[in-house]
Amino acid sequence: MCFTYREAALYKKDLEQILPKLEISSANFTYEEREPDLQKEGLVFNLQRFSVNDGPGVRTIVFLNGCPLRCKWCCNPESQRMKPVIMWKQQNCVGCGNCSVVCPTGACQIRDAGRIDHSKCIVCGKCVDVCYHQALEMSGKVMTVEEVLKELYQDRTVYRRSGGGITISGGEALMQHEFLEELLRGCKSMGWTTAIETTGYAPKEVLDKIIPLLDTVMMDIKHIDPEVHKAWTGVSNERILENALYIATIAKELIIRVPVIPGFNADEDTIRGIAKFCTYLEKDHFVGIHLLPYHDFGTNKYDMLGKDYEMIGTERPDEDYMKYLKSIVEAEGLYCQIGG
């Protein structure tokens, strides 16, 4: 697979052309302070407290809806669309049919067909209100910046003592960049450190607005080959690789994360290709590569959404193999760790 070297060479050439024109570095790329708009609304599908794997210290993760990718292994399929979604836990359902009776659109077909027709669902929530067995739930809630900040405020002491803070995740949080900007401004005004887990798949204007508000950027590079990337995620990686080069010049700290997915990128050549590409990232701000072994924790969510999980039967790479891939990254002179 010689494309890895071709790609690295290609991006080296681009980098040499791009960087002198940018005349930019994180030192002169700061944000203008102003009060956040606390009433700005966004769609949030989860708040996860006490996380230790998603940035420095102990953190609260804010998960925002919306993602332009469709990764086959996605463990948050409920996050992909920019609207709430009804999830059905079949194991809790007693088949009473209350939900089908109140559904105004005929989308709730649990009594007759054992499914929800999401194409007809207007997410009114009436079915959830009459399900007394916790078999239905709505994922995705409209919240104001103020409401999110109040939730985050509960753990302010933990952030301070652990050197932690707030991590924004998704979905792809950059899709809700207007809400995200106000939320990050709110976090900064509280003195909390900020991080993001991102695909980096966003227009440059969005990056210019959001990256200066972040202390740590954790960005995925999933594959180096545009066609393979498109086949497994639904989009080409060209914008992502270009943005990685750019983000490395403006971020305070950039970590590249690679979800290691058997059958997609869990091979020596692909991991070496990604590592070689990363050797061209601006070194003052690029910390290293985190290899994240595949897991299937999101499988049950596919059942709850009535979707097929394409990765069924895929096994998590074992520890020795992950160490081997780590050694390949390290051979390129980069820091590497297994896990986030």
Q: Establish if 260 lies at the interface with ligand SF4 (CB under 6 A).
A: no
Smallest distance from the beta carbon of 234 to ligand SF4, in angstroms?
Answer: 8
| SS3 labels along 19-86 | HHHHCCCHHHCCCCCCCCCCCCEEEEEEEEEEECCCCCCCEEEEEECCCCCCCCCCCCHHHCCCCCEE
Show the tokens assigned to 203.
Answer: 């227009």
H-type alpha helices, the chain: 3-22, 98-102, 110-113, 126-129, 145-153, 156-162, 177-189, 204-210, 226-233, 238-250, 268-278, 299-305, 319-330
State how beta strands 115-116 and 108-109 pair: antiparallel
Span interacting with ligand SF4, options 3-11, 100-108, 160-168, 274-282, rule CB under 6 A: 100-108
Residue type, 114: G
Smallest distance from the beta carbon of 105 to ligand SF4, in angstroms?
Answer: 5
Footprint of ligand SF4 on 216-245 (CB under 6 A) = none
- Integer angstrom CA distances of residue 118 from 23, 108, 121: 48, 9, 5
Q: Establish if 304 lies at the interface with ligand SF4 (CB under 6 A).
A: no
Q: List beta partners, residue 194.
A: 166
Residue 156: CB atoms within 10 A of its CB come to 14
Q: Which is nearer to ligand SF4, 10 or 94 (CB)?
A: 94
Contact mark string toward ligand SF4, 142..181, x via CB under 6 A: ----------------------------xxx---------
69: nearest Cα among 166, 260, 200: 200
Q: Establish if 136 lies at the interface with ligand SF4 (CB under 6 A).
A: yes
Smallest distance from the beta carbon of 184 to ligand SF4, in angstroms?
Answer: 19
Q: Establish if 108 lies at the interface with ligand SF4 (CB under 6 A).
A: yes
Count of residues that bind ligand SF4 according to CB under 6 A? 40
The number of C-alpha atoms within 13 Å of 205 and in the hemisphere containing its C-beta is: 2
Q: Establish if 12 lies at the interface with ligand SF4 (CB under 6 A).
A: no
Contact 217, 251 (CB under 8 A): yes
Q: Establish if 95 lies at the interface with ligand SF4 (CB under 6 A).
A: yes
Contact 224, 3 (CB under 8 A): yes
Span interacting with ligand SF4, options 27-35, 94-102, 140-148, 306-314, rule CB under 6 A: 94-102
Choice from 85, 131, 152, 287 touching ligand SF4 (CB under 6 A): 131
Q: Establish if 93 lies at the interface with ligand SF4 (CB under 6 A).
A: yes
Q: Which is nearer to ligand SF4, 26 or 76 (CB)?
A: 76
Could you give the CA distance from residue 257 to residue 220 in angstroms, rounded to a whole number?
A: 5
Span interacting with ligand SF4, options 109-117, 177-185, 268-276, 305-313, rule CB under 6 A: 109-117
Q: Establish if 79 lies at the interface with ligand SF4 (CB under 6 A).
A: yes
Tell me which residues touch ligand SF4 (CB under 6 A).
67, 69-71, 74, 76, 79-80, 86, 93-99, 102-103, 105, 107-108, 110-111, 116, 121-127, 130-131, 133, 135-136, 170-172, 199
